[in-house]
Amino acid sequence: MVAKSNSVVTELRAEIIAGTIPAGTRLKEEAIASRFGVSRVPIREALLQLESEGFVTTEKYKGATVSARSQHDVVELMQIRRGLEVLAASLAAEARGGDQADALRAVVARGRQAGEDGAVADLPPLIMEFHEVVARASGNAELARMLEELLRRISWGFELEIEDRIDTSWADHAAIATAILGGSPVQAGYLMGEHILKDELIYRRQVSTPS
């Protein structure tokens, strides 16, 4: 039952983030159960999970609907993310990358290569992977879990213009990785904080500029 619920959560979350299921859409348990070929119990569990992550809102008499993306919420999530990512980078540096050291070197190399090749479509998953590797390298499983959820929610509310950040983004990542692998917690935390702040500032400019 848990496996079925997790599968539904993964699929629905991906569709909400991609915009395939837009904000305000009613999520009817019976229709979703029919779509996935399961009973309504795992659907109910999946919707509760998505509600806890902020993707779904449940109202009395109305049921579950896809939440609206709030600019204020995205800014707050980014601020929380910055604090957690600084902590993750610092802890990772204390362990010099731990068992994630090779993975960290590899993702930075692949990201730089994708940037040099102009493979823009490959960059978003590589950026996500970099931050996930740093979180795992912290050695704190709860911190890694919290960051994974935050990154999902932020990616739903914020689309960065990757082309504008190819060079600087991977230069940042490389510098952060060097500090982590070199065992410099203060430097790693500072560089990560500055890196995340750039995204915050870009988002604030985007939402304050009339379309």
Residue 19 sits in a domain of what CATH number? 1.10.10.10
- Residue with token string 């890196």: 195
Q: Which domain holds residue 38?
A: 2-66
Q: What is the pLDDT of residues 138-158, one digit of tens each?
A: 999 999 999 988 888 777 755
Query: End of a domain among 66, 85, 100?
Result: 66
Q: Which of 12-16, 25-29, 202-206 has the highest mean pLDDT?
A: 25-29
What mean pLDDT do residues 118-138 have? 89
Query: End of a domain among 31, 46, 66?
Result: 66
State how far the Cα of 126 lies from the Cα of 67, in Å rounded to an integer. 27
Given a cut of 70, whether residue 107 has pLDDT beyond it is yes
State how far the Cα of 170 lies from the Cα of 129, in Å rounded to an integer. 13
State whether 93 and 191 are in the same domain: yes
State whether 104 and 187 are in the same domain: yes
| pLDDT of res. 167 | 60
Coil vs helix vs strand at 57: strand
Given a cut of 80, whether residue 2 has pLDDT beyond it is no
State whether 76 and 59 are in the same domain: no
Query: End of a domain among 66, 87, 113?
Result: 66
DSSP conformation letters of 101-121: HHHHHHHHHHHHHHHHHT-GG
Which residues have a Cβ under 8 Å from the Cβ of 177 and sit 6 or more positions away?
Answer: 97, 104, 105, 108
| pLDDT of res. 211 | 46
State whether 128 and 202 are in the same domain: yes
**pTM to 2 decimals?**
0.75
- Nearest Cα to Cα of residue 173 among 208, 132, 117: 132
Q: What is the pLDDT of residues 161-173, one digit of tens each?
A: 555 566 677 889 9
The percent of residues above 70 in pLDDT, for the chain, comes to 89
- In terms of C-beta distances under 8 Å and separation of at least 24 residues, what long-range contacts does 46-54 make, across chains too? 46/5, 46/6, 46/8, 46/9, 46/12, 49/5, 49/9, 50/9, 50/12, 50/13, 50/16, 53/13, 53/149, 53/152, 53/153, 54/153
Q: What is the pLDDT of residues 186-207, one digit of tens each?
A: 999 999 999 999 888 877 776 6
State whether 81 and 155 are in the same domain: yes
Q: Which position has the higher pLDDT, 198 or 136? A: 136
Kindly report the backbone phi and psi dihedral angles of residue 57, in degrees, each rounded to the nearest multiple of 5, phi listed first: -120, 135
**Band (55; pLDDT cuts 50, 70, 90):** confident
Asked if 96 contacts 188 with a C-beta cutoff of 8 angstroms, the reply is no
Scored b (16 or more CB within 10 A) or e, 29-53 reads beebbeebebeeebbbbbbebbeeb
Count of domains for the chain: 2
